[in-house]
Amino acid sequence: MGDCFSDVGCRKHDWAACGYAWLVLAPVGFLWIVWLGVGIVMLQRHGGLTKLFPFDPKRIHDPLAQGVAVALSQRRSDSVKRPRLLRYLKVCAMVAEWPSFTCTPLLVAMKATNESHNLTHMLSMLTTTSEAINVLVAALCGVCILLLRQCATKNEALLMRFAYPITFDVLYIPFITTFLRLATCPNGYDHMLLPGTLSCECVDHYGVCGLLGFLLLYGSTLHYKTHIEPLGTTMDFRFQTSFQVIMVMARTHNPVVSILVNAVDLARIPGAAIGISICLCLCASFLLLYTYETQPCIGSGRVPNNLRAVSFSSSIYTSLCVLALVVTGSDITPLYYALTLLPVVWGLAWTLNNRRASLYNIPDLSILDLLEHPSSQAHVVGAIAAFHVDVTKVNARDYASIYRRLEALAKGTKRDPLCRIYAIRTLWFCHVESYRFSDAVVGECDAAAVLPDNWWRTDDANPNARALRARAAFQVIAMDARRGSKRVPTRVTVSSKSRSFTTSLPLGDGSSGRIIARGTQPFHVIRVQDKHWISKTERPDEAADALKELYQRSLEALAHARAMEHPTAMYEASIFLLQWYKSQYLQLSKFAYMEILATLCATHDPKLVMDVTHSLYAACTEGVVPIGLWLRHASFLNYFMHALGHSSRLTVFKCATVLWMVLEAAVMNAGHDVDLFHLFLPSSMAKLSHAFWVWHAAYDISDTLERIYLLLQDLETRQRHRKAWTTAGSDAGDENAPWLAKLRHGVAHMLAPGVRRSFASRNMSQTRRDATLLSVTSRVQIRPSLPTSTADRPESRTGLAEDRCSTNPPLRRALSSTPTNAYPLQERGHSERGPRCASLLQPIVRESIVSGCKSRESCMPESHVRSPEHAPSKSPPEATRRKQRRDRYALVPHDVATEIDRRRTLRKEVDDLLQQAYMVHHSASPRRSFVAALDKSAPRSGHRNSELVSVAAYLVGLYKMADRCAIEDYITNAVEPHLCAFFEDHIKPYLAIAATAPGPSSSRRVSWLFAS
């Protein structure tokens, strides 16, 4: 028995004799599991594994994040030079990664070729001092962090500038390597002695200190990189958070590999050496590819990105050299010659990556220097930084220069709209304090066109509002954590009239320490909602004129952003104007209000889109915003249709209702001045079609979308007729043009002026009569709407049932059974039950429900069929194809038309059968109840019960096969209350039984249930 325990001394060579040989590799495997598991958990908590690696650099280098980073890095100093100590510490930490990535693959070559002396030398490079010194320094750093965190508000600067970077960046690799050696106790080293002459070679004390230290340091570093470092306010660059987690894992990976290489005899197992080399090469290749494609360092990150690219390139090159050495089995001497080319690899990697890094690099300059920089990208970041910066950290001597540069950027019409709108937002705070003492109105002055004050509605009654509000709050917290906005909010709202402005007096000048008095200086500092802003000292009328100009520029920036399809600029401009209006410092016109809210519907904030849709819905239904504005501005309608893709049912229904109201207004206007092909973009029609197929189970949405498609068909039909009439009139005019011109010329010279005027008036009257005749003719060809309920339909309209087949199948002109001045049914629970909405399609026989609708000729009445003497015996194929093309519509796809026909027909069939079953059930003749029908011992009730069984059996079968028709929702919300109660009490309980009852067919199964 060897010496394995602390009571007799400890030597790792004797572990095999003690039966603990498995302890040599088991800790390494456990460390691998801990390394991978903790890293994946942190990545998953950050944003999900599917969103970890965005290879789109525009998504990473978003100007808002860069501007916030620059704003937070501002430091008020007496010196013109900016403090750079923390930047140097971060760069030194990245330089320390260089030898680790380069030397780790070389350890495989050393061990595979039995170069033990070189192996010991290479391992010593990873820990510059002994284990005892490293543990002591690590413990000292941990104690300092704990003491400073006891009073974090006072010592935050020391933590962020010194304690955290030194512990988790500069000295991380030596610390983690030391704890790994204490946890695995590799051979060939003088290990640290514990109290009582104990060491890690004792089995009963093996790995405890090292394992605890590894877990504590690894977890603390991941927490620092994901939750603390993004809150730093002293850095001019920062890495993407998910990339920071990956880099912590990569910096830990190399020491773990070195421990594994020391524990395995690679000289006897060459396959293990090949596998390790390939894994190191693949890991470094992925990191290099991701770094080159995305340049993950945000801000002034050209040098950090280049350093990372050099480290990864060096690791790839050495891994390939080691792999060639292990595969060929040659001597280690050629490896030394190959390593002489490493400087060339470093220079090449730096040069190639520098070209791409320069595309996304923001100069390491102050806000004023960024605003004066010739680069447009620097202007955008500078304007965003000027908006988010705490101006108490900016030298007062720069206030006037910053104001002038922002004013120049706001006036530039050819600049980036995002740059303009952020400059305008910052200038707004410069003038708003003085404007509060002015009586001038900013915005719309026409009383007829102005929007009422505070016309903004939040959709709190929406069932999805609470979940979206919680999700939005979580996203704001996460965004603040990522962008470092712990004290500087990323969404600064404008202040309302009820809020007070506090002037920060006295204000010290950082360059000389003088006190600035508000009355003697052109600029001073105010505090609004715990945020400091630059304010200009001016007269109230001057401030009013400046705000009026800013309002016009804001509208220009919004229009420019929409023309460029710049989603970020569209959102920022719209939300600024909306906040300005909600603060009661701006009077919006109805046109501008609709433009702002429709643009916000195209954003990706679900809670905001919900409230915007609710506000527009309320404005349209209550008559605040005229429906005709939508028809005159089709682009707003297309932006508003983005709400059809919302996840909330009520929001989609309100958007569809507004769209239905707009098209109904177009129909009531006889379709004049409405060009459907300019009214809706193809992308908008795609959203409409997507909502039609997605919300098939919601009757209110499905019915409203069906009405919309029917209105589109109606408008397109009218547009075709109008175009055909215009073409026919122009052709006739071209044939008689010479003769009419001569006649008009002769009559004009012969008639007196009074007669000439009379002749002209008669021509105008005739033109009106022709137009009236055309309008009447078009109306005669189109069937009007019917009442909503079956009980409301007069008997005189029964003849229309035969006329319905005369319209173009499969989609009929009838848009709904509600009157034109009524709105679709609202959701249950928000309104009273409305009348039943009956379909206006022709009654289709029961066989057509299964096999499809009949052909157009079979549905047409005899009066519409051509006589045999005029009809050809067989239509030519070309004529048939032209006819089919005429029956199709550009805005209504054929599959959508067929589906609408099927849905409305099935609902009509269910409605009729439900009424018939109800009437039979409540007839005066003796009958058996449905419950008694299940009892075969009960006596029969005759013909009336058999009729009830037949109707109920077919109703149940029809209900079961009516998929994607919202039949259940239709019965619950659309039919009369007594029919709904009858269905719930007598039909619905047997649907599940009908599905499982034995029998050859659905009808027979249901008949068995209701028959004795």
Domain boundary among 542, 567, 589: 589
Pseudo-torsion of CA 758, 763, 768, 773, nearest 10°? 130
- In this predicted model, what pLDDT tens digit does every residue of 832-878 receive, in sequence order? 333 333 333 333 333 333 333 333 333 333 333 333 333 344 444 54
Q: Could you give the angle at which helices 302-328 and 270-294 cross, rounded to 10 degrees?
A: 160
pLDDT band with cut points at 50, 70 and 90 for residue 22: confident
**Which of 89, 92, 194, 186 lies closest to 135 in space, CA to CA?**
194
Q: What is the pLDDT of residue 758?
A: 41
Strand partners, 527: 502, 532
Binned at pLDDT 50, 70 and 90, residue 53 comes out as: low
Q: d(Cα 387, Cα 485) in Å, to the nearest integer?
A: 13
**Secondary structure of 470-496 in the HEC alphabet?**
HHHHHHHHHHHHHHCCCCCCCCCCCCC
839 touches 816 (CB < 8 A): no
| Cα distance from N-terminal residue to C-terminal residue, the chain | 89
Quick one: 376 and 294 in the same domain? no
Q: Please state, as a whole number, how many other Cβ atoms lie within 10 Å of the Cβ of residue 631.
A: 17
The answer to whether residue 478 sits within a structural domain is yes
What SS3 class is residue 989?
helix
pLDDT band at 996 (very low <50, low <70, confident <90, very high): low
Question: Is residue 322 in a domain?
Answer: yes
**Does residue 1003 fall inside a structural domain?**
yes
| Residue 152 tokens, joined | 């974090």
Determine contact, residues 980/900, Cβ cutoff 8 Å: no
406 vs 63, higher pLDDT: 406
**Residue 481 included in any domain:** yes
Q: Pairing relation of β-strands 515-516 and 507-508?
A: antiparallel
Same domain (yes/no): 374, 316: no
Give the per-residue pLDDT at 197.
59
Structure tokens at 710: 């029917």
754-792 pLDDT, tens digit each:
434 443 443 444 444 443 333 333 333 333 333 333 333
Q: What is the pLDDT of residue 993?
A: 63
Cα(406)–Cα(403) distance, integer angstroms: 5
Q: Which domain holds residue 394?
A: 368-452+472-589
Same domain, 284 and 306: yes
Asked if residue 510 has pLDDT above 50, the reply is no
- Contact between residue 897 and residue 889 where contact means Cβ atoms under 8 Å apart: yes
446 in the same domain as 347: no
Q: What is the pLDDT of residues 615-642, one digit of tens each?
A: 999 999 999 999 989 988 889 999 999 9
Mean pLDDT of 561-583: 93
> What is the pLDDT, as a whole number, of residue 497?
54
| Residue 527 and residue 505 in contact, taking contact as beta carbons nearer than 8 Å | no
Asked if 704 and 656 touch (Cβ cutoff 8 Å), the reply is yes
Whether the predicted pLDDT of 918 surpasses 90: no
CA distances from 902 to 566, 715, 804, 816 (A): 41, 22, 15, 15
State mean pLDDT over 900-908: 89
Per-residue confidence at 220, pLDDT binned at 50, 70, 90?
Answer: very high
pLDDT at 511 over 80: no
Give 232-286 pLDDT, tens digit per residue: 666 667 888 888 999 999 999 999 998 888 888 888 888 899 999 999 999 999 9
- In terms of Cα–Cα distance, which of 247, 179, 249, 184 is closest to 216? 179
Mean local confidence (pLDDT), 668-691? 82
Is residue 603 predicted with pLDDT exceeding 80?
yes
24 Rama sector, left if φ>0, alpha if ψ -120 to 50, beta otherwise: alpha
Q: What is the pLDDT of residue 725?
A: 66
Split into its structural domains, the chain has a count of 3
Amino acid (1-letter code) at residue 488: V
Backbone torsions φ then ψ of 531, nearest 5 degrees: -130, 135
**Per-residue pLDDT, 2:** 53
CB-based contacts of 389: which residues, under 8 Å, 6+ apart? 71, 72, 74, 367, 488
Residue 601 domain flag:
no
* Whole-number percent of the chain with pLDDT over 90: 34
108 has pLDDT over 80: yes
For the chain, the helix, strand and coil percentages under 3-state DSSP, each to the nearest 5: 65, 5, 30
Asked whether residue 308 falls in the same domain as residue 388, the answer is no
534 three-state secondary structure: strand
Token pair 């009820």 is at which residue?
Answer: 498
Residues 6+ apart with CB under 8 A from 598: 616, 636, 637, 639, 640
Mean pLDDT of 959-988: 80
Residue 459 tokens, joined? 């959709």
Whether residue 345 is found in the same domain as residue 388: no
Element (H, E) at 294: helix 270-294
Task: Note whether 927 and 953 are same-domain residues.
Answer: yes
Residue 1006 resides in a domain: yes
- Domain-located, residue 275: yes
Beta-carbon-side half-sphere exposure of residue 312 (alpha carbons within 13 Å):
22
Which one-letter amino acid corresponds to residue 932? A
pLDDT in tens, 484-506: 333 333 344 455 554 444 444 33
Q: With cut-offs at 50, 70 and 90, classify the pLDDT of residue 994.
A: low
For the stretch 567-592, what's the b/e string if a residue is b when 16 or more beta carbons lie within 10 angstroms of its beta carbon? eebbbbbbbbbbbbbbbebbbbbbbb
Residue 184 inside a domain? The answer is: yes
Least confident residue range of 117-121, 698-702, 961-965: 117-121
Number of CB atoms found within 10 A of residue 128's CB: 13
Average pLDDT over residues 15-32: 76
Single residue among 589, 606, 632 that ends a domain in this structure: 589
User: How many other β-carbons are positioned within 10 Å of the β-carbon of residue 920?
Assistant: 19
Q: Are both 317 and 395 inside the same structural domain?
A: no
Average pLDDT, the chain: 74
- Candidate from 225-229, 701-705, 959-963 with smallest mean pLDDT: 959-963
**Would you state the pLDDT for residue 276?**
93
Q: How far apart are CA 701 and CA 699, in angstroms?
A: 5
Please tell me whether residues 419 and 306 are part of one structural domain: no
Question: What is the rounded CA–CA span in Å between residue 411 and residue 399?
Answer: 19
Res. 176: pLDDT tops 70: yes
Q: What per-residue confidence (pLDDT) applies to 875?
A: 45
What's the rounded mean pLDDT across residues 343-359?
95
pLDDT at residue 533, as a whole number: 94
Per-residue pLDDT, 496: 54
Token couple for 810: 């499969």
What are the tens digits of pLDDT across the range 272-322?
999 999 999 999 999 999 999 999 988 888 999 999 999 999 999 999 999
What whole-number distance in Å separates Cα of residue 991 and Cα of residue 1007? 12
The half-sphere exposure of 273 on its side-chain side, counting CA atoms within 13 A, is: 26
Residue that finishes a domain, picked among 301, 325, 360: 360
Residues 391 and 348 in one domain: no
User: In this predicted structure, what is the pLDDT of residue 17?
Assistant: 66
Q: Residues 107, 256: one domain?
A: yes
* 416 and 355 part of one domain: no
Dist CA 334 CA 336 (whole Å): 5
- Can you give the pLDDT at residue 126? 52
Does 347 score more than 50 pLDDT?
A: yes
